[in-house]
Amino acid sequence: MTEPGIMLSTVQDITTALKDKPGALLPILHGVQDALGYIPVDSIPHIAKALNLSRAEVHGVISFYHYFRDTPPGKHTIHLCRAESCQSRGSKQLENHVKNKLAIDFHETTPDGKFSLEPVYCLGNCACSPAMQIGNEIYGRVSPDLFDNAINELRELA
């Protein structure tokens, strides 16, 4: 978790830099999530004030979009594709394997804080299904073994 002071100055910097763009809210929310990993509830009043919006409006936008989150993610976020092309290549079995391996469900984080698991509905990698993303890294033709290797590598790094 970020120190409250650092958190607020980061939010302030991002908001000041972007608030005059037309339709600035999404760019600001992306900026905050890129910097902090999530959009802390405490940042909402600052963002709302800078854009002349109510807190409820800002909160409403954050909650509308699956990608934005208001809780800290694990060190690595795994986006596992659930969509049709990946299903045709065994993504359901893979999903079971992943959930068992990490012992968490979608929208959860492992107790050691290493991995968060999120569903995603197509990564545009449907020619190499099943697909997943870990952070910005994309993986294709993911087998249970490939998944285990990727996870073990990241565990050793961290």
Partner 1 sequence: MSTTIYVPCDSSAISLGADRVAAAIAYEAEKRGIAIQLIRNGSRGLFWLEPLVEVVTGKGRVGYGPVQVSDVPGLFDAAFLQGEPHHRSLGLIEELDYLKKQQRLTFARIGKTDPVNLDEYVINDGYRGLTNALSMAPQDIVKHVTDSGLRGRGGAAFPTGIKWNTVLNTPDEQKYIVCNADEGDSGTFSDRMVMEGDPFVLIEGMTIAGLAVGATQGYIYLRVEYPHAHAALNTAIEKAYQADYLGNNIQSSGKKFDLEVRLGAGAYICGEETSLMESLEGKRGLVRFKPPLPAISGLFGKPTVINNVISLASVPIILDKGGDYYRNFGMGRSRGTLPVQLAGNIKYPGLVELAFGLTLRELLYDFGGGSATGRPIRAVQVGGPLGAYLPESQFDTLVDYEAFAGIWAVLGHGGIVVFDDTVDMAEMARYSMEFCAIESCGKCTPCRIGSTRGYEVIDDIINGRDVNKNIPLLRDLCDTLLNGSLCALGGMTPYPVLSALNHFPEDFGISDKANAA
8 Å CB contact between 94 and 100: no
Minimum CB separation from partner 1 for residue 53, in Å?
Answer: 8
Give dist(CA 150, CA 158) in Å, integer.
Answer: 13
Map residues 19-58 to x or -, x wherever contact with partner 1 holds by CB under 8 A: ---xxxxxx-xx--------------------x-------
DSSP state of 9: H
* E-strand stretches of 47-88: 76-81
# chain residues binding ligand FES, by CB under 6 A: 15
Selected range binding ligand FES among 1-9, 24-32, 116-124, 147-155, rule: CB under 6 A: 116-124
Give dist(CA 83, CA 72) in Å, integer.
Answer: 26
Binding stretches for partner 1 (CB under 8 A): 22-27, 29-30, 51, 60-61, 64-68, 79, 83-89, 120-129, 131, 133, 136, 138-141
